[in-house]
Amino acid sequence: MTATVIRAADRHHWANEWLTSRQSFPGTGNFDIFDNAHGVLAMHNDDVVDSGEGLDAHQHQNMEIVTWVVDGAVAHRDSHGHTETLQAGHAGAMTAGRGISHSERNAADRSSGQSLRVIQMWVPPHTDGLEPAHSSRDFNPLLADGEPVVVASGRPEHAGGAALHIANRYATLHIARPHAGQTITLPGAPFGHLFVVHGEVTATADDLASTVLTEGDAVRLADAGQVTVTATADTEIVYWEMHAEFASARPA
């Protein structure tokens, strides 16, 4: 097993007049995102968007894009007719497939001063050229007890459940909001990525000594067994369970 701790201050940072993006993998600028991928996770951005601002319509192909809303609300619109506003505790999953244009903006008026915070995550599909699609769900009720919830998955065992579908049979996104003092268990996998959205936890996995993680910290795991997480404050965590790495997850 290997475990690499990435502290919040060590993330790649990018900003303009209305966006602050703190990136677990460099995703802005002259970077090959797949060279920096961990498992099949190629992008994991923690973005804060000023009120009344956001990304205008732009195109994607052959990518599975999951957006988790932490604070505020995001207005989603795409070229296949999906228009909706996702509030905090909602997730959206988009299959870009053979091509889709979309915009994602802070739904709040500029005068409100309400910022938007989202975690946006990209994994490649296991099949190129799929029909574009978008789905979403409010996960707040399922997260209330603090236990991990499968929010998005392409793994067969999660088909037909509450999780949003992504077209990657090797990946599952778990999210949890453990309460102070609560201990939860996350599944082991060939590749794992644990990220603290807010709060503080102590994480332990196999030979990984107990490690304290606070907001913005992450651990990249390889060949790890179950991950035990104890919250020392009310906390929100995001965890990717992955059973392949990028090269083997792509279509031949």
Residues 35-44 have pLDDT tens digits of 788 999 999 9
Taking the C-alpha atoms of 212, 22, 179 and 170 in order, what is their torsion angle to the nearest 10 degrees?
-90
Task: Name the 3-class secondary structure at 246.
Answer: helix
* Structure confidence at residue 247 (pLDDT): 64
- CATH (domain of 49): 2.60.120.10
User: Is 12 annotated to bind ligand?
Assistant: no
User: Is 241 annotated to bind ligand?
Assistant: no
User: Is 165 annotated to bind ligand?
Assistant: no
In the chain, how many domains are there? Answer: 1
Domain that holds residue 120: 2-249
- Residues in the chain, pLDDT under 50: 251-252
User: Is 64 annotated to bind ligand?
Assistant: no
Distance, CA of 238 to CA of 252 (rounded, Å): 30
* Structure confidence at residue 252 (pLDDT): 41
Among candidate residues 134, 129, 131, the one with its CA nearest the CA of residue 104: 134
Q: Are 43 and 32 in contact (CB under 8 A)?
A: no
Distance, CA of 34 to CA of 187 (rounded, Å): 24
* Structure confidence at residue 29 (pLDDT): 64
Tokens of 111: 């005068």
